[in-house]
Amino acid sequence: MDRKQGLSLGRDDIVQLKEAYKWITHPLFSEELGVPVDGKSLFEVSVIFAHPETDEDCHFLSTSCPDCFKPAKNKQSVFTRMAVVKALDKIKEEDFRKKFPCPPNSPKSFCSAVEIECAHGAVFVAGRYNKYSRNLPQTPWIIDGERKLESSVEELISSQLLTVFKAESFNFSSSGREDVDVRTLGNGRPFAVELVNPRRVQFTSRDIKELQQKINISSDKIQVRDLQLVTREAIGHMKEGEEVKTKTYSALVWTDKAIQKKDIEFLDDLKDLQINQKTPLRVLHRRPLAIRTRIIHTMETHYIDEHHFRLHLKTQAGTYIKEFVHGDFGRTKPNIGSLMDGTADILELDVESVDVDWPPALND
């Protein structure tokens, strides 16, 4: 029907060819396989058909829109679905009718199935991890193609999940990260793992609990808690809290000059201290140069000896704690050294809590 006749048909009034195809084939698949067909199922069966007789039906479009069909390294043919759709949008009705019969000619041969592929949509697992080692990075530590340490938090957790879910690959994410030499204690740090194309997806809560135990037995460097299946949408809760929540730390501080307990007590009285942090030298290679304002909500000191004390801090997320202690050559102001009118350095750092209320705590 000529577009110029201006039929009062809305987009929803026209049945897409693929929808009609589904109406015809879904009952046939269901009868043949003995299972119901669900168009929104995470399990997909992809069938690639070949039909040489009609392979070149769309080739005439390349003359009407040469720019639509450009070679690409990973494409076997320039006549991709997106390219054809783009060309059809550009060609005029009369030009299309001149080049292609409408309705099209009936094919004389059947198509053949050349490839059948089964795939399952990603499954997501979340939990919280504790890290007890001061020699373990969160993600694989590779510099210039050379691996620096043999393992990582990501691999210790995800390798177990990959095996049990029989997945092709994984993507690991977490609410912030800690340095290789920093422990994560308390209730742990929230994390989520996307398991790509898993072959096994049915798990009971008991199965997941056993999987958690398996991860925890496999290494003394980490422990996992609250392991559970979650939706893709739920992972957003973890990222939402990343920058707005508070975090609690414990630092072992060294001072160059001898101190008494009374010399550090003033730090306990400082509340909501505002600091300015220029991007630390140690992360400048991967973070843009900027000055970030952060808040140190509270501090609590515990005197050890004349050159050491323990500092407990509650801070705004995104605060560089090491730099707040030693000053990073004056790039963080004020810092513990400048507040004490001397030089300070950090010997140990622990994350004691990440105040993100996700994933939900489970009763073990």
Q: What is the model's pLDDT at position 145?
A: 81
**What's the average model confidence in pLDDT over 269-285?**
96
Residue pair 345/325 in contact by the 8 Å Cβ criterion? yes
Across all residues in the chain, what is the average pLDDT?
Answer: 91
**What's the average model confidence in pLDDT over 298-311?**
98
| Rounded Cα distance, 352 and 113, in Å | 58
Which residue would you say has higher pLDDT here, 148 or 253?
253
The pair of structure tokens assigned to 317 is 């997320």
**What's the average model confidence in pLDDT over 106-113?**
90
Q: What is the model's pLDDT at position 92?
A: 86
Where is average pLDDT lowest: 101-110, 173-182, 240-249, 270-279? 240-249
Q: In the chain, where are the structural domains located?
A: 14-119, 123-244, 247-354
Q: What is the model's pLDDT at position 202?
A: 93
| Rounded Cα distance, 183 and 252, in Å | 13
What is the percent of the chain where pLDDT is above 70? 96
Which residue would you say has higher pLDDT here, 329 or 6?
329
Classify domain 247-354 at the CATH topology level.
Alpha-Beta Plaits (3.30.70)
Q: What is the model's pLDDT at position 15?
A: 86
**What's the average model confidence in pLDDT over 285-304?**
96
Q: What is the model's pLDDT at position 28?
A: 92
Q: What is the model's pLDDT at position 58?
A: 87
Reported pTM: 0.80
Q: With 50 as the cut, is the pLDDT of residue 1 above it?
A: no
Q: With 90 as the cut, is the pLDDT of residue 357 above it?
A: no
Classify domain 123-244 at the CATH topology level.
Alpha-Beta Plaits (3.30.70)
Residue pair 241/357 in contact by the 8 Å Cβ criterion? yes
- Tell me the per-residue pLDDT of 332-351, one tens digit each, with 9 for 90 and over: 999 999 999 999 999 999 99
What is the distance of C-alpha 360 from the center of its chain?
19
Residue 350 CB neighbours (<10 A): 20
Q: How many CA atoms lie within 13 A of 108 on its CB side?
A: 1
**What's the average model confidence in pLDDT over 190-201?**
96
| From 57, 95, 179, 345, active-site residue | 179
Q: With 50 as the cut, is the pLDDT of residue 204 above it?
A: yes
Q: Reply yes or no on whether 144 is catalytic.
A: no
Residue pair 353/247 in contact by the 8 Å Cβ criterion? yes
